[in-house]
Amino acid sequence: MQKVVLGRTGLEVTRIGFGGIPIQRRSVEDAVEVIRKALDMGVGIIDTARVYTDSEAKIGAAVRGRSERPVVVTKTYERGADAARRDVDVSLWNLGVPSIDVYLLHNVGSVEALDRVTSRGGALEGLSRAKSDGAIRFIGISGHNPSVLQEALARDLFDVVEVPLNAIEQDSLELIEQARERDVATIIMKPLAGGALKPGAAAIRFVLAHPVTCVVPGMQTIAEVEENLGAEGELSRDEREGLLAEAAKWEGRFCRRCGYCSPECPNNMNIPGILVFASYSQRYGLTEWARERYAEMPVKADACEECGKCEEMCPYNLPIRELLKEAHQELAG
């Protein structure tokens, strides 16, 4: 597999890595088999997160005892320094590694959230302490709003940025170029748009045709590992046209989690969170997990007053009220 340097970290990774979301639905034994297949095929980077239930632990079980291990990336959703530092210790235990190669601030979706995590007492302070302690090596940030991540780049606080890119979501191209100019690595998540695009190999080739560092498609079966890790090569014209045709079918229905809608909701509903849980249930098959997360949300989709303010703010003109009704039906069981 083709290897590249992960930006200014100097770490060597493969251009195609392993995304750790889908293995949540597999047994430990099955997940370990899938991960080890990827490792045997030469995968050089694995991406996971604290909030992916037991994904870290399954990855730890798979890499433990191997003479060579891939670059490991994980993330914290915590926003305070002490809580983020505690998350690092939990990740170390789960993954069974002496230090974590790259630790990301997870899904920072607004400038206000960026200010919070980078201010005194914020999560970045906790990760910086962990780096000083030798618990992690490099610090990065992930998110779905390219403009927020562009602001993070401008502050020059992070070595790695993780963002979606696929035939549907192409809003991050300017961010990717700016990161390349700064020698900040770009890890691309959701190359298949959460399972909305097929075939997987073509969707991955679409991403690799751009100046990204690497891509981490989620995988949960041996067949997916073999298809995805064999996706290197040039994207054909037919593949590109097919992907763009698939993407066009999602026009007006695909939430990019930019976050512009939620601040306008009079009931403080986390609209992108609800829609992404519904997509995880529908496209990843993580129904039980998604319904549990939805049950924990203080405001459910059925609280929608249909005022339409969210739709006025959506830059993609999504029928959010209709999508919320569908999501509630999916997630409320």
User: Is 257 domain-assigned?
Assistant: no
Clarify whether residues 269 and 225 are in a common domain.
no
Q: How many Å is the Cα radius of gyration of the chain?
A: 19
CATH number, domain with residue 193: 3.20.20.100
Question: Shortest CA distance to 105 belongs to which of 136, 78, 144, 133?
Answer: 78
The answer to whether 185 touches 7, Cβ cutoff 8 Å, is yes
Percentage of residues in the chain with pLDDT exceeding 70?
Answer: 100
Task: Determine whether 226 is exposed, middle or buried from the number of CB atoms within 10 Å of its CB (0-12, 13-18, 19+).
Answer: middle
Same domain flag for 144 and 100:
yes
Determine, yes or no, domain membership for 37: yes
> Which residues span the domain enclosing 114?
3-245
Looking at per-residue pLDDT, the higher value among 260 and 232 belongs to 232
Tens-digit pLDDT profile for residues 257-293: 888 888 889 999 999 999 989 988 988 788 998 999 9
* pTM (whole model) above 0.85: yes
pLDDT digits (tens, 9 = 90+) for 127-142: 999 999 999 999 999 9
